[in-house]
Amino acid sequence: MSYIVGCQNCKKEYTRNWSWMMCDQCYFRICRNCLNKHTGKYALNGGFKCSQCETGRLQVTELILT
């Protein structure tokens, strides 16, 4: 059983109870450090808009879906 999960932007691994930002549409998950710098097709300069899908918003979560 692993309690380590990886950020999908910077690839760093953090413990499960780190606060994550997760997209409510596509479940793109990043660490808090990446909130201002994740980039993708739909967001170039970070922020709460998901960079990986058209309509998703990043939400603070401490629950990790397995």
- Chain contacts with Zn ion (rule: CB under 5 A): 7, 9-10, 23, 25-26, 28, 30-31, 34, 50, 52-53, 56
**Closest CB to Zn ion: residue number:** 56
CB closer to Zn ion, 1 vs 41: 41
- What is the residue-wise DSSP string for 9-25? TT--EEETTS-EEEETT
Residue 5: CB minimum distance to Zn ion, A:
11
Beta bridge pairs of residue 20: 31, 61
Residue 66: CB minimum distance to Zn ion, A:
19
